[in-house]
Amino acid sequence: MTDYVWLIPLFPALGFLINGLIGRWWRLNKTFVSWVACSALGLSFLFSILVFIGLLRLPPESRVAIPDKVLFDWIVSGGLKTVIGYKVDPLSIVMALVVTGVSFFIHVYSVGYMHEDPGFTRYFSYLNLFVFMMLNLVLANNFLLMFVGWEGVGLCSYLLIGFWFERDAPANAGKKAFVVNRIGDFGFLLGMFLIFSKLGTLTFDGVFSKAHLLDPVTVTLITLLLFTGATGKSAQLPLYVWLPDAMEGPTPVSSLIHAATMVTAGVYMVARCHVLYEMAPLSMAVVATVGALTAMYAASMALVQVDFKRILAYSTISQLGYMFLAVGVGAFSAGIFHLMTHAFFKGLLFLGAGSVMHALAGELDIRKMGALRKKMPVTFWTFLLATLAIAGVPGFSGFFSKDEILWNAFSSPQGHFLLWLIGFITAGMTAFYMFRLCFMAFCGDYRGDKEVWHHAHESPPVMTVPMVVLAVLSVIGGYVGVPAILGGANHFHHFLAPVFGVHEGGGHEAALRLLPLAWAGEAAGEGGHGSAALELFMMVLSVVMAFAGIYLAYALYLKRPDLPKALAQGYPRAYRVLFNKYYVDEIYQFLFVDSCKRLGTILWRQFDEAVVDRTVNLVAAVMRVLGGGLRLLQTGFVQDYALGIILGAVIVMLFLL
Amino acid sequence: METFLKIPLLSVVTFLPLVGALLLLFAPREREDWIKGFALGVTLLDFVLSLALFIYFDDGVAGMQFVERVPWIKQWGVSYYMGIDGISLLLILLTTYLMVLSILSSWSAIEKGIKEYMIAFLLLETGMIGTFCALDLVLFYIFWEFTLIPMYLIIGVWGGPRRVYAAVKFFLYTMAGSVLMLVAILAVYFLHAKATGHYSFDLFALYNTPMSLKAQLLLFAAFAVAFAIKVPMFPFHTWLPDAHVEAPTAGSVILAGVLLKMGTYGFIRFAIPLFPYAAHKAIPWVSVLALIGIIYGALVSMMQDDLKKLVAFSSVSHLGFVMLGMFAFTVQGVQGSIYQMLNHGVSTGALFLLVGMVYERRHTRLIADFGGLARVMPVFAVFFMIVALSSIALPGTNGFVGEFLILLGTFRSNPVYAVLGATGVIWGAAYMLWMFQRVMFGPVTKPENEGLSDLSPREVLTLVPIVIMIFWMGIFPKFFFKKMDLSVERYLRDVKGRYEMVLKAEEAKAFVARSQGARER
């Protein structure tokens, strides 16, 4: 069964080719186009499930020992031999399931959302191409093919952000995304070079089995370079700037690419390379720290934004930070778990945003919304469920995954009290800004244009059904990973365990070391039971935090809607800095973009033209002057030549004498 | 193989265009379609014949194939000596392939003197193919110089407003380099004769000319300057933007696609193997100039307001990659370098074709005159996008294979160079996508652009082969690599072997000197 893995990416590729190549010339109708695109994804999802079942039938140890499915040789030069080949193991198949599953529902949703768009065919061919590239990324059996997917999803992201290219903002945002991602890819490339020059191979199996040959400095360098790539693709500090702008694309694209799948590629990459990262404690610390800081930093910007999609974008950056925090402290399966639950609820949140935009003629300013739950109940309820999930309310998927991350940030040997604290505070911020968004959009009184309100309506079933499906997943998706402390079996963790080994989950003793002394004494007194009690205690803490955030949002935006404005006026400077996103875009523009342009102009005008080319022309001019001088001698008069001969003769005579 | 075919295939491929040009002389001037058709037919036939070369080329043989050798000027040791290995084979294919597209692209762009124009192109083709086959230095020099004249005419007669300036600059600049090379050729010839008593311009005989290290360095420098001008390497590049801006579209395609490759090919076939010691000594110099070319070319390219100039400066950047990989002296570096020569021919050739297509419609190449073309010309936009992506080396396209191997190969010999070179992936994306955005995206701001017609079937026919090549070369590079694997391996073994021999001899000499010094003390 696992031998059919290559069919998973094949179907979206076919869908892309059919819609992309003949769509324009045959003027295919929308029904046909959408059937091709959606059934390509449906088949791909189906085969992912089949391969998954095939994998489940195997005993856990042999699930990681399946031979790679190699299709053909790709770049072969000297000692370098790379192939187009796919790898099946629990990690890659979880990713394939998430990607094809979520993509399928978002494809269906798009049929409704994009129905009136003239670029319908183009949209679906890009979307299929995206899924094809994403599947290459997650199924690749070597770094280079992963890089193909890596850059390929970047291309699709560029094309889809700039989908409405006739406006300047999307075109700019697309270009920004591509160039910023390329900065990260630069690091990824160098990481691959270093791997190859040390180990002579780029296949995952080859690299990881030989990884022990690497010295600590090299492996740290490799992992940091690869992580540079991840900061670009997964929008972490300092390369996150492209993601908020990426919201210029169609909303299902934001949902699929810029929330559920593509941006998680960095997390997947770190998890895939866990063998290398585990050898490099420094890199792990960097990953965890960058993740934690990004989580908090992005959440702080989300607190005051008023653009529906941008709040979600900052939230995505923040949640990706959580995932990096997880993998950075060695909790790889927790990171992948959160990746999956996040794909459900964040994908859904964006679909909700799309549904609202659909209803309000494209309105995105949440100050002009309110009371929408009356007009669009399905959107409201699904959105609320997703919000509860992301806020970490017990029982919803986000609770389990976020809690596992926080616990690991605290208890794992690579964890630290501060990392936990940042994650903990961010959890409260998350609950606050998400409920702020939810309350402002769906509750209270409507604050926008009456005409718009009049036309506001619930979306058609083709859009609401995928939302309901994702809502169900947002609620129940966490139950595959219920921790042992709550009496669960954590199937998810056990399924991935053969990939990641048994390093995680056993950090209770380390946790005790990290605790403030007074606690530690108390907890240690109770022995092993104490650490379980501790885990429960921390869980309760984070639940309290979540409810505190929710209550604050309720107090500020439902009970006393005048307060936020007063707060903003009370702290004008802090508010302005947050509202203007710390002015980072402006700083980058000045530091990098403008200075490169200035340098380019100087090099061109003042060096290339004024120095290099002028030198060339100067040489030519000198030759011309010299030639002009010599030409005076060539008068064509016999007398002059005779004079020359006589002069010459005289000179020779003088010499001889 | 040659015996199987019983015809000197290499000479046929080389001289068929010349024969075509001679026949065209007798064509009636008014029958323009007939002339175009004939020229297209000749280039197509030549392309098909070069495919035969590709098919019958034995990739299990490392040495020269299809060899033809006839004494020419016996007393001076000049012979008509032609042959190809995997490296030249691919470049010949690139030439014949691009020639067909160039003729197609000239269909409606050239309004005057179509007969002379076609004759010039056919003559040029013979010169270019000959350059890639010649294994006798005199023969090589003749072909090399021979390409100058038709190109000079193509720019100078069918070019833009400053065509005479550009043509003269192109001619004189290249000529200045060539003269240096000629002197160096003669010097090697006499050095070889002095050492062996045998007068010959046979390249492989001259490979083993014993000479002092100083002579090696000087002669290498002479060759290197000649080739560096042609490539062009920074700081010898300033003729290129002028030539490109003024040249007609097909002229730019061939100039960028093939003529520049004569420079890089010259390094691989002549400058490096003739003087391996000097070439190794020159690694830092060439690499640094190549890196400057990569970054500087990209930065300057970013700020251009003329599309053709932008592409011209991007060529400086791309050719910087070619030189960087070549001087890495690793298999990946050299193979990437050769592949990048082909890629650049395909992608940059295509960029010039595309610019030519909008130029024919709008009679301007200023980026500021465009904007929003993607809505007006959607088919054009698709082709342009694919070519732009190939130019910025997106994985899956040809450009990636070349750039990746070059950087990988360079990394293995000098990581610092590779790190600097790899910044090129960022610069490339920046200038190419910014240009693309300004030309294709945004609202249509100029009313003149509203009514532009999309591509005609002939134009699509010109671009489809390019797109096929872009993906074929990007996805199945092995198809092409296997033809050059052995040749490159042999080349590297040979060059490195002789370099190490020189080193050992030097060490021995130094050792002798030292021990003598010790004895005297």
Nearest CA in chain B to A198: B412
Q: Which residues contact B261 (CB under 8 A, 6 or more apart)?
A: B91, B94, B341, B344, B345
* Alpha-carbon gap, residue A630 to A248, rounded angstroms: 68
Q: Which residues contact B253 (CB under 8 A, 6 or more apart)?
A: B98, B101, B102, B105, B349, B352, B353
Query: Is residue A259, in this structure, part of any structural domain at all?
Result: no
Nearest CA in chain B to A197: B412
**Dmax of chain A from CA atoms?**
123
How many other CB atoms are found less than 10 A from the CB of residue B47? 18
Residue B184 structure tokens: 């160096």
Structure letter (DSSP) for residue A258: I
- Model ipTM? 0.92
- Indicate yes or no: CB of A155 within 8 angstroms of CB of B239: no
pLDDT value of residue A449: 86
The answer to whether residues A590 and A449 belong to one domain is: no
pLDDT value of residue A590: 87
pLDDT value of residue B62: 85
Helix, strand counts (H, E) of chain A: 32, 2
Q: What is the mean pLDDT of residues B482-495?
A: 93
Cα dihedral sign, B276-B277-B280-B282: negative
Domain with A297, as residue range(s), is 284-488+501-579
B14: distance to nearest CA of chain A, Å? Answer: 30
pLDDT value of residue A480: 87
Contact list, A596 vs chain B (CB under 8 Å): 299, 302, 430
Structure letter (DSSP) for residue A585: H
The answer to whether residues A383 and A426 belong to one domain is: yes
- Residue to mutate among A74, A75, A182, with most B CBs inside 10 A, is A75
Domain range annotation of chain B: 282-489
By the CB < 8 Å criterion, does B472 face chain A? no
pLDDT band for position B521 (cuts 50, 70, 90): low
* Alpha-carbon gap, residue B137 to B201, rounded angstroms: 5
Query: Is residue A648, in this structure, part of any structural domain at all?
Result: yes
Query: Is residue A623, in this structure, part of any structural domain at all?
Result: yes
* Alpha-carbon gap, residue B475 to B395, rounded angstroms: 9
| Virtual torsion, Cα B151, B152, B157, B160, nearest 10 deg | 90
* Alpha-carbon gap, residue A374 to A387, rounded angstroms: 18
Q: Answer whether B20's CB lies under 8 Å from B122's CB.
A: yes
By the CB < 8 Å criterion, does B434 face chain A? yes
The answer to whether residues A564 and A595 belong to one domain is: no
Residue A527 structure tokens: 């022995």
How high is the mean pLDDT of chain B? 93
Query: Is residue A453, in this structure, part of any structural domain at all?
Result: yes
Q: What is the mean pLDDT of residues B496-505?
A: 91
Query: Is residue A566, in this structure, part of any structural domain at all?
Result: yes
DSSP A26-85: HT--HHHHHHHHHHHHHHHHHHHHHHHHHHHHS-GGGGG-PPPEEEEEEEEETTEEEEEE
Q: What is the mean pLDDT of residues B278-298?
A: 95
The answer to whether residues A632 and A528 belong to one domain is: no
Residue B58: closest CA among B487, B492, B475: B487
* Alpha-carbon gap, residue B267 to B269, rounded angstroms: 6
Q: Going from the first residue of chain A to its last (657 residues), give the mean pLDDT of each consecutive group of 10, the final group possibly shorter.
A: 88 93 74 91 95 91 87 91 93 95 94 90 93 96 95 94 92 93 94 94 93 93 96 93 93 92 94 94 95 95 92 95 94 93 95 92 88 91 95 91 92 90 94 94 88 89 94 91 81 88 49 43 43 86 93 89 84 86 87 88 88 88 88 82 89 87
Contact list, B335 vs chain A (CB under 8 Å): 77-78
Q: Answer whether A163's CB lies under 8 Å from A250's CB.
A: yes
CA distances from B104 to A256, A391, B439, B456 (A): 43, 63, 24, 12
Where among A579, A613, A633 does a domain terminate?
A579
pLDDT value of residue A363: 87
Contact list, A172 vs chain B (CB under 8 Å): 437
The answer to whether residues A309 and A369 belong to one domain is: yes
3-state secondary structure of B110: coil
Q: For the stretch A160-171, what's the b/e string if a residue is b when 16 or more beta carbons lie within 10 angstroms of its beta carbon? A: bbbbbbeeeebb
Residue B325 structure tokens: 């990989």
The answer to whether residues A553 and A456 belong to one domain is: yes
B20: distance to nearest CA of chain A, Å? Answer: 37
By the CB < 8 Å criterion, does A168 face chain B? yes
The answer to whether residues A523 and A564 belong to one domain is: yes
By the CB < 8 Å criterion, does B477 face chain A? yes
Residue B364: closest CA among B460, B373, B116: B373
Choice between B419 and B514, residue whose per-residue pLDDT is larger: B419
* CB < 8 Å from B in window 14-33 of A: 24
pLDDT value of residue A505: 45
pLDDT value of residue A523: 44
By the CB < 8 Å criterion, does B443 face chain A? yes
Number of domains in chain A: 2
* Residue tagged 């000959």 (tokens): B130
Q: Answer whether B397's CB lies under 8 Å from B404's CB.
A: no
Where among A579, A599, A616 does a domain terminate?
A579
Contact list, A202 vs chain B (CB under 8 Å): none
By the CB < 8 Å criterion, does B100 face chain A? no
The answer to whether residues A524 and A600 belong to one domain is: no
Residue B275: closest CA among B202, B203, B173, B332: B203
The answer to whether residues A338 and A403 belong to one domain is: yes
Residue-wise pLDDT tens digits, B420-466 = 999 999 999 999 999 999 999 999 988 888 889 999 999 999 999 99
The answer to whether residues A422 and A458 belong to one domain is: yes
By the CB < 8 Å criterion, does A165 face chain B? yes
The answer to whether residues A472 and A600 belong to one domain is: no
Where among A579, A614, A638 does a domain terminate?
A579
B412: left (phi over 0), alpha (psi -120 to 50) or beta: alpha
Share of chain B above pLDDT 70, in %: 99
By the CB < 8 Å criterion, does A194 face chain B? yes
- The partner residue sitting opposite B422, judged by closest CB among A151, A189, A604, is A189
3-state secondary structure of A201: coil
The answer to whether residues A322 and A366 belong to one domain is: yes
Q: Is the pLDDT of residue B193 over 90?
A: yes
Query: Is residue A125, in this structure, part of any structural domain at all?
Result: no
- Indicate yes or no: CB of B442 within 8 angstroms of CB of A612: no
* Alpha-carbon gap, residue A50 to A68, rounded angstroms: 17
Q: Which residues contact B378 (CB under 8 A, 6 or more apart)?
A: A24, B454
HEC assignment per residue over B165-180:
HHHHHHHHHHHHHHHH
* Alpha-carbon gap, residue A364 to A306, rounded angstroms: 8
Query: Is residue A622, in this structure, part of any structural domain at all?
Result: yes
pLDDT value of residue A506: 42
